[in-house]
Amino acid sequence: MTPEVAAPAGPPALAELAQVPWRRRTDQRYLDRYARIWSFWTLLYALPFPAAAVVLVALEPLTIPVALACLAHGWVIPELYAYRGASVLRPKGARNEHAEPVAQGFLGDLLSHEARALHRETGLALERSGLGVWLVGEAGALLLPPGGRRVHCFCVRATEPGLPPSDRIAHLLLALRTDEGGFATVANHAFCGAPWRVRRRLPVAMRPGLDAARAAARPPRR
Amino acid sequence: MSRLIRMDATGHSTLAEWTAQDEPAFEAAVREFRAQLDVGYIGVLDQGKGKAEQIRELPRDAGLVIMRRPIAGG
C-alpha cells in the first residue's frame, strides 16, 4: 500500500513531519484501527499461555509447575507492554534545577489555571484537543480519546539536550497545539490499552494526572 | 511590547523586544528571528485556547513569539 502524504492540504502541518514521510498521518480513524489491532494482538500473544496451561494439566496433572509458568508468562507479557506505555511519562534526562523555576513559570503561562495546578501536583500538562484529552510529560504523552476507556501512549521528546523538564513539556505542548495529527504522527506509539493498566505502572505522584485526564475525556453526566 | 523568546537550557532567553511603531527594534527582531531559524529553531505563535501557529516570518503585531527546537519520536 502506498503511504499517504504526511501533510494534508489545508490544516497547518508540523515541520517535523518531514522527518517521517513514510508514516501515514494519524487521525481518529487511524487511532481506532490501531486500537483494534493492538487488542487483537494482545489476545493473540496472551491467550495461548493459559490455554497451554489448561491443556497440560488436563493431560498430565504432574505438569502443574509448567502450567503455572505458562500462566505467569501470560500475565507478565501484557504487563511489560503496559509498563512500556507508562514509561513514556516517567521523568527522564537532566533535571536542570537552576533553570526549572523559570521554565515552570513559562509553561504556566501557556496553561489554563486548572492545568497549571495539575502540572504543579503531577508534573504533567493536561490539554484538551480534537482527538481527545492529552496528558503531556517530559518525554512522551498519553492520549485518551472521548469516553476515556482507552489510552494511547506516545514516546516523543524535544531534541535539545539539557532543557529543564518544564521546557521539554512546553516544546511538546506547542507542537501539539500547532498540529495535533502531525504531533501524533511524529511520536512513536508505545502502547494502547485500558487506562487502569497504565495507571498502576505510573509513579504514584502522576496517577492523579491520569485520573483527571480520564474524567475530562468522559462525556458530561446529565 | 512584543517579545521574541527562545526556550533553552536557561529556561528561556529574551532575544528581542519591539513595538509596532519602533522600526529599528522590529528589524533587529526580524534579523534575530531569521538567525534562529537558520540554526534549526522553529518559530511558534501561541494563540491561546489550545492553538498555536508555526511561523516563518515575524509578525509585527505579535504578542509573544517562541523559538523551540524540533521534536522527534523517542
pLDDT in tens, A26-45: 999 999 999 999 999 999 99
Q: What is the value of pTM for the model shown?
A: 0.92
- A100 contacts in chain B (CB < 8 Å): 11
**Cα angle for residues A156, B5, A166 (degrees, 5° grid):** 40
> For residue A93, what pLDDT is reported?
84
pLDDT cut 90: percent of chain A above it: 88
Are B69 and A171 inside 8 Å of each other by CB? Answer: yes
> For residue B47, what pLDDT is reported?
87
Residue A219 cell numbers, joined: 462525556
> For residue A94, what pLDDT is reported?
84
pLDDT at B63 over 60: yes
For the segment B5-49, what is each residue's pLDDT rounded down to a tens digit? Answer: 999 999 999 999 999 899 999 999 999 999 999 999 999 998 878
The 3-class secondary structure across A113-171, one letter per residue, is HHHHHHHHHHCCEEEEECCEEEEECCCEEEEECCCCCCEEEEEEEECCCCCCHHHHHHH
- B50 contacts in chain A (CB < 8 Å): 127-129, 177
Q: Which of residues 25-54 of B touch A (CB under 8 A)?
A: 42, 44, 46, 50-54
For the segment A86-109, what is each residue's pLDDT rounded down to a tens digit? Answer: 999 999 888 889 999 999 999 999
Answer whether A168's CB lies under 8 Å from A183's CB: no
> For residue A89, what pLDDT is reported?
97
pLDDT at A220 over 80: no
Torsion, Cα B48 B54 B57 B63, to 10 degrees, reads 10
ipTM associated with this complex = 0.95
Q: Determine the distance in angstroms separating the CA of A16 from the nearest CA of chain B, rounded to an integer.
A: 6
> For residue A11, what pLDDT is reported?
60
Are A178 and B71 inside 8 Å of each other by CB? Answer: no
> For residue A26, what pLDDT is reported?
96
pLDDT at A222 over 70: no
pLDDT at A2 over 60: no
3-state SS, residue B1: coil
Show me where the domains of chain B are located.
2-68
- For residue A89, give the nearest of A55, A113, A58, A124 by alpha carbon: A124
pLDDT at A139 over 80: yes
Are A167 and B12 inside 8 Å of each other by CB? Answer: yes
> For residue A146, what pLDDT is reported?
96
pLDDT at A9 over 70: no
Residue B65 cell numbers, joined: 513569539
pLDDT cut 70: percent of chain A above it: 94
The half-sphere exposure of B7 on its side-chain side, counting CA atoms within 13 A, is 35
